[in-house]
Structure 1
Amino acid sequence: MTKFVLGFHPFHVVSVSPWPFLGSVSVMSLSSSVVVYLIGGCLELLAGSALSLLLVSFLWWRDVIRESTGMGHHSKVVVSGLQLGMILFILSEVMFFFSLFFGWFFISLSPDVSLGCVTPPLGVQPLSFTSVPLLNTVILLSSGVSVTWSHHAILEEKSGTLPLALTCLLGATFMMFQCIEYYGIPFSISDSAYGSLFFVATGFHGFHVLVGTSFLGINLYRSSASHFSSSHHLGFEASAWYWHFVDVVWLFLFTSIYWWGS
């Protein structure tokens, strides 16, 4: 049983911070702005909400980085709790994508009359899985290798900056090719449940790639600033877990939507 001497304990009691409240307000403002924009609202409100959320996120992460490095508040107990929190967050993301895959297999195995009792529906030309989707699969799998390479470099007290920069470049390349794919796609999100599920599933995955690339980009800066050691690199470890999750989800997307669905 752990003994606490003179009131000291291994937990981090965070100081008063405005970022949780401001972050919640920014998220609510952004979601409301998206709805208003879709029904004919102004783009300026949407841009302002997005910028406010980015600013709050930057300032909040800055404080967390300071707490973990210069202030030394992230003890082993705190790191263990943060690791558990990241695992639970990824599990919640798994449940989110599970609902999308459930909808996809439901309309594929039991297509409705409105779809012509066939999937893809009549008149909808599916994408070939041997074109951009296959290329993006190779890109994401390569990024998984490079981020693992960077992790092993950190564990060996070496610089993981180069493979981490390569991972960020591969993530940006993936998003570029997905934009090219969307530009030339022969159907739209309004083409029955097939089009809706296709764009929601692949679009949300693309959003996760954007978030993961940003996450890795922040750790790229921290790696170049020598914030990580072999025994203390939780920020990088969490981003690597998230990136591997993004890789696995894409493999399911490629197999079920692009390959089997075509």
Structure 2
Amino acid sequence: MSETVEHYFVPEPSAYPIIGALALLLFGAGAALWLNDVAAGQWIFFAGVAVLIYMLFGWFGQVVRESVGGKYGSRVEKSFRWSMGWFIFSEVMFFAAFFGALFYARVLAVPWLSSGDNESLLWQGFGGAWPTAGPYDGDAFTPMGAWGIPAINTLILLTSGVTLTFAHYGLLKGNRGQLKLGLFATIALGAIFIALQAYEYAHAYADLNLRLDSGIYGSTFYLLTGFHGLHVTVGAIMLSVMLARVLAGHFDEKHHFGFEAAAWYWHFVDVVWLILFVVVYWL
């Protein structure tokens, strides 16, 4: 008896990569023009966002239809797993760049600028204590403390990792009720996290005078926490799509990589927040 050879699915030619490239071109050009006060900049920017959303819905929708239609085999799933793994690795490098900037400023640059005669490079009497309003003698601000909303958000994200694992085990056992409950709870916790972070930003601006231009501390604080908040938002959207697919009857105990990919991303976001909480808020 001859061995059955698994067919490898080859997708049909698609215009979505070109549409995505056009979206990013409009997005980037519009943002640059908007920042330079060109009247049409914001409209070009939002046009890029609209085209990008169209591309995402169309392309991912096509992939979902192909998956539900049974066109994908183990080789395609393996390629998906490698692709998601490399994507998360690129996100690790993205955050590593910002953590590296914080380390360089806090551990190397600021102490060096406060040593010997180097303080004259900024202003007379610069002490080099962290947090600092440098590189200019800016308005005084109060740094964000760790115990309060940041600690609550840490507990929320840790809990969301548990609820997502609860949903995953429900999927593996074929318990659709557990799967739906766990997914819904995870999405709700993500939404609460985002709402609390928005409140934290409002508090920082209104009460602490902590702004994006509050020296190197303000810049690194908002870049790290802001990009993390963006990733939580993206992760919540991904999990919402997974919940919609679950409600539509997609996934089973053996075929559920879409769910796993979203779960990997969410757990990555959890780990980044734990590091961020320690080095930005606590230390």
Query: Is 1:143 matched up with 2:160?
Result: yes
Partner of 2:18: 21
Partners of 2:22 and 2:38 in 1: how far apart? 19
Structure 1: give runs of 5+ residues left out of the alignment: none
Q: CA RMSD in A?
A: 1.7
Partners of 2:30 and 2:198 in 1: how far apart? 23
Partner of 1:12: 9
Contact 1:175–1:209, Cα closer than 8 Å, also in 2: yes
Partners of 1:10 and 1:235 in 2: how far apart? 21
Partner of 1:183: 202
Partner of 1:129: 146
Partners of 1:116 and 1:89 in 2: how far apart? 41
Structure 2 residue identity aligned to 1:30:
F
Output one character per residue of 1:26-62: Cα deviation in whole Å (capped at 9) or x when no partner: 0221122122222224433322221221111011110
Higher RCO (Cα < 8 Å, 6 or more apart): 1
Closer, same or farther: CA 149–166 of 1 in aligned 2, 3 Å: same
Partner of 1:107: 105
Partner of 2:117: none
Structure 2: give runs of 5+ residues left out of the alignment: 115-121, 134-139
Partners of 1:184 and 1:31 in 2: how far apart? 30
Which shifted more, 249-258 or 102-111? 102-111
Partner of 1:49: 48
Output one character per residue of 1:79-133: Cα deviation in whole Å (capped at 9) or x when no partner: 0111011111111111111111111122222214547422101533211111111
Partner of 1:168: 187
TM-score scaled by structure 1? 0.92
- Give 3-state SS (helix, strand or coil) of 1:184's partner: helix
Partners of 2:201 and 2:29 in 1: how far apart? 25
Contact 2:184–2:243, Cα closer than 8 Å, also in 1: yes
Output one character per residue of 1:157-206: Cα deviation in whole Å (capped at 9) or x when no partner: 11111110111111111111111111111211111121111111111111
Contact 2:153–2:196, Cα closer than 8 Å, also in 1: yes
Partners of 1:246 and 1:188 in 2: how far apart? 24
Partner of 2:75: 77
Partners of 1:236 and 1:41 in 2: how far apart? 42
Q: 1:87 aligns with which of 85, 88, 97?
A: 85
- Give 3-state SS (helix, strand or coil) of 1:109's partner: helix
TM-score scaled by structure 2? 0.86
Partners of 2:17 and 2:269 in 1: how far apart? 26
Partners of 2:47 and 2:26 in 1: how far apart? 9
Partner of 1:251: 274
| Number of corresponding residues | 255
Contact 1:149–1:163, Cα closer than 8 Å, also in 2: yes
Structure 1 residue identity aligned to 2:34:
Y
Following TM superposition, by how much is the alpha carbon of 1:218 offset from its aligned partner in structure 2, in angstroms?
0.5
Counting aligned pairs with the same residue, the percent is 36
Structure 2 residue identity aligned to 1:92:
S
Which shifted more, 199-208 or 118-127? 118-127
Structure 1 residue identity aligned to 2:154:
T
> Who wins on radius of gyration, i.e. which is larger?
2
Partner of 2:27: 30
> Structure 1 segments of 4 or more deviating over 4 A?
2-5
- Give 3-state SS (helix, strand or coil) of 2:30's partner: helix
Following TM superposition, by how much is the alpha carbon of 1:74 offset from its aligned partner in structure 2, in angstroms?
1.6
